[in-house]
Amino acid sequence: MDVEVVAEIDRLPIDLLAHIFVLFSSFTDLAQASGVCKKWKQGVMESLAHRHNLSFENRKMDDESTARLVYHAYNLTKLDMYIVVEMLGPRSRWDCQITDAGLLRISFAKCVSNLTSISLWGLTGITDEGVVQLISRTRSLQHLNVGGTFITDESLFAIARSCPKLETISLWSCCHVTESGLLALVDKCQKLKSMNVWGTRVPQDCFNNLLIISPALQLIL
């Protein structure tokens, strides 16, 4: 942005700035805007309270900054954290900065009980410990994506206990889950319509057993 535009915007009151920042969809843009000056930073923090969804590319995030933003987003219902894999070029890597410590901090944010959708897609740095902590503080969850993580049945049992409203779940490539976790989930989450189990290592019999409990369940294999 050129200097004149910044000077014009600088005359706007903070709430108006906040309304502008609500339109930013990328975390990187928000982070840059909050670095411009104190007033813009206040505008960004205020804009977080208006947001209903927030998405983070894990590549640019860490536990501390993610948790700080989620704390300010009181009205959040949809939280997307996912990993971006850079396939091209020498900087190709799969590095993960969100850990259980971040999930633990996020679990205490006010918005957690109102989240209807959470994605932790591909966060390879998290384990059951963080997932169980976060999930057990949700009350309204309808959609959960834990694909590509190393969770086990322990997380599935927590989901079965805490998410009676769950409608869709992705367990894409969760190779440590077993039949007993899946059975608990399908048994307790009676609104479950769709479950992505591609790349899990459970035997075919298990899927038949799930369909006996819930004949209308859509299994994505």
Ligand X SMILES: *[C@@H]1O[C@H](CO)[C@@H](O)[C@H](O)[C@H]1NC(C)=O
Stretch that binds ligand X, among 48-56, 98-106, 163-171, 194-202 (CB under 6 A): 48-56
- φ/ψ of 124, rounded to 5, equals -75, -10
Measured from the CB of residue 118, what is the shortest distance to ligand X in angstroms? Answer: 13
Compute the least distance from the CB of residue 216 to ligand X, in Å.
26
Q: To which residue do tokens 């927030």 refer?
A: 54
> Which residues 60-119 are close enough to bind ligand X by CB under 6 A?
74-75, 78, 110-111, 114
Range 178-217, binding ligand X (CB under 6 A): none
The total of other beta-carbon atoms located within 10 Å of residue 69's CB is: 22
Beta-bridge partner residues of 81:
56
Q: Rank residues 47 and 127 by Cβ distance to ligand X and give the closer one.
A: 47
Q: 172: how many CB neighbours lie within 10 A of its CB?
A: 18
Candidates 31-39, 45-53, 65-73, 155-163: pick the segment binding ligand X (CB under 6 A).
45-53
Is 53 a binder of ligand X (CB under 6 A)? Answer: yes
Among 9, 49, 211, 213, binds ligand X (CB under 6 A): 49
CB closer to ligand X, 110 vs 191: 110
**Nearest distance from residue 161's CB to ligand X, in Å?**
21
Which window, 46-54, 95-103, 150-158, 177-185, contacts ligand X (CB under 6 A)? 46-54
Q: Please, which residue, 58 or 200, has the CB nearer to ligand X?
A: 58
In the complex with ligand X, the residue whose CB is nearer, 53 or 178, is 53
Instruction: Choose between 44 and 111: whose C-beta lies nearer to ligand X.
Output: 111
Using CB under 6 A, list all residues that contact ligand X: 49-50, 52-53, 74-75, 78, 110-111, 114
